[in-house]
Structure 1
Amino acid sequence: MDKPFNTLDRHFHLPHVRQVDASRPLMWLRMGWDDMRANFGASLAYGLIFAAIGYVILAYAADLPYLFTAAISGFFLVGPLAAAGLYEISRRHERGESATFADSLRGLREHGDHLLYYGAFLAVVLLAWERLSAILFALFYEGVAPDLGNFFADVFLSGAYTHFVVSYLVVGGAIAGVVFALSVVSVPMLMDRKSDMVTAMMTSARAVGFNLGAMAVWAALIVVLIGIGFATMMIGMVALLPLLGHATWHAYKDLVE
């Protein structure tokens, strides 16, 4: 398992990646909670901003089922970048520096170039997924679009659209898996050290390859917590997004020397 990831050193100068226990993500959440409590106002400010943005996007897509599902899944794709300000808060808090909301914005400006490139990458992926989502609906979903309130029950749980559900989950899951592997620690790494985007993404892929058990647990926790955020009409996201953002910083510090 290690050999394919070790060959990355032939092309990139990558930092050493640690191997951690599969239960370690629970510790990341605990440390993330500690950071959130210590910087409550700044953390919740990010939670409120992105919960509000998410609610507006979902409300806009409410009459377009394919766009609504793409928006929900797309939230997972852009989440690592959306939490960049939270990484900066954790970074400053760890160093004993001022970590207000304004301080985090200054930190974002200092790393603006790298974040812009990474944002462009995620934007391309998100646009591609939105188009693929529309194509899958056109190919496999037959009939009138159901009411959004019953959409998941009528389409995903009824058994009447098995081909559509399987294709949607396979394609969406493959895209999400690749983006997760390339982004799980890459944005915190860009915020923490002078590194280019490609090196950060390859380090992230290596961290996932060396810690499949822990990364599977971490991915499951992210899906469950973000799912709770959506189930509560983005209200829960106000606290859950900052928690995951701070925890992701500790995941990076734990995995990358």
Structure 2
Amino acid sequence: MDKIAIKPNLHAIDLPAIDRIAGYTRPLLWLRQGWSDMRRTPLLSLGFGALFAALGYALVHLAWNGVQAGMTLTSGFLLIAPFLAVVFYDLSRQAEHHHAPRLAHILKPLRANGASIGFYALLLAFIFSVWERLSAILVGVYVSGDQVGFAGFPHALLAGSGQFGLLLPYAVVGGLLAILVFALSVVSLPMMLHRKADLATALMTSLWVVRTNPLLMLEWALIIVALSVLGFVTSFIAMAVVFPLIGHATWHVYRDLVER
């Protein structure tokens, strides 16, 4: 038996039981299930994937006229991606219930639990705004005026005080915020779509999933980062497939780890 159900013991919030999973091949199963969902809804999945990839490319590359804005949007994409992927969560939900995928169906759970999902979006927006300010401060401290352009900026990443200059503190601060968003988002939005859970219950459930399966969640986070990097280095071309794949797979993370 590779699953052990663990009931979180919280007095204020009644959370569902969380499955502790043994072994480290589970993310491959989630990816296969996500790929299967993409094959059921290729036009919608790849269509929305291409749309988000195009928007991401436009925003990031237009912002790269200012290096700080470009870096913030590129790194901040991972902070807001859990909300943007809501369409893929719901396409997988429809496929699970053998519904013909329709755009109108996606709006139903959003309307049914709009308040909680809206507060979740505001939470991610707040975290992103905090990252934007921290990013500006770090760039202001480490990058001089003659290094703001592309000619001098690569040197600024590695120069300055300390061996790694801006690169190390930027990675540490951005990484800590990314870990926070990941822990709050692993299953929270799929849960709000599926069970109409309130925001506090969904966020606490997500945190308990990470607490119950720390190594498995670390593996899943590294896979997400690796696939996202693939999307970035291909100028968002691969993101048209990567983004819906991660979104569909995230639905199966929720269904696999949160007791039904």
Superposed pair shares fold, TM > 0.5: yes
Q: How is 1:161-200 mapped onto 2 (pairs within 5 angstroms)?
A: 161=160, 162-200=164-202
List per-residue Cα deviations over 1:151-190 (Å, max 9, x = no partner).
5x5444xx42423212111111111111110111101010
**Could you tell me the TM-score, scaled by structure 2's length?**
0.90
Match of 1:14 in 2: 15
**Corresponding residue for 2:215?**
213
Q: Could you say which residue in structure 1 is the equivalent of 2:70? A: 68
Counterpart mapping for 1:241-256 below 5 A: 241-256=243-258
Change (3 A) 1:150 1:240: farther
- Higher fraction of helix: 1
Match of 1:180, SS state, is: helix
Q: Is the 8 A contact 2:27 2:220 kept in 1?
A: yes
The structure-2 alpha-carbon separation of the partners of 1:154 and 1:210, relative to structure 1 and needing over 3 Å to count, comes to same
Distance 1:252 1:105 in 2: 20
CA separation of 1:7 and 1:88: change in aligned 2, threshold 3 A: closer
Count of residues in correspondence between the two structures: 250
Cα distance in 1 for residues equivalent to 2:101 and 2:143: 48
Contact 2:159 2:166 in 1 (8 A): no
Counterpart pick for 2:26 among 9, 24, 27: 24
User: What is the CA-CA distance between 1:112 and the residue it aligns to?
Assistant: 2.5
Q: For the Cα contact (< 8 Å) 1:208–1:215, is it kept in 2?
A: yes
SS in 2 for 1:233: coil
Structure with more relative contact order (C-alpha pairs < 8 Å, separation 6 or more) = 1
User: Which residue is 2:36 aligned to?
Assistant: 34
Rate the CA distance shift 1:255–1:131 in 2: closer, same or farther, 3 A.
same
Superposition CA RMSD, Å: 2.0
Map 1:1-257; keep pairs closer than 5 Å.
9-20=10-21, 21-145=23-147, 147-148=149-150, 153-156=154-157, 159-161=158-160, 162-257=164-259
Residue 12 (structure 1) shift: 1.4
Report sequence identity in percent: 40
**Preserved contact between residue 156 and residue 165 of structure 2 (Cα < 8 Å):** no
TM-score normalised per structure 1: 0.91
**Cα distance between partner residues in 2 of 1:233 and 1:146:** 22
The whole-number CA distance in structure 2 between the counterparts of 1:248 and 1:166 is: 30
Query: Which consecutive unaligned segments of at least 5 residues does structure 2 have?
Result: 1-5
Conserved? CA contact 1:188–1:252, under 8 Å:
yes
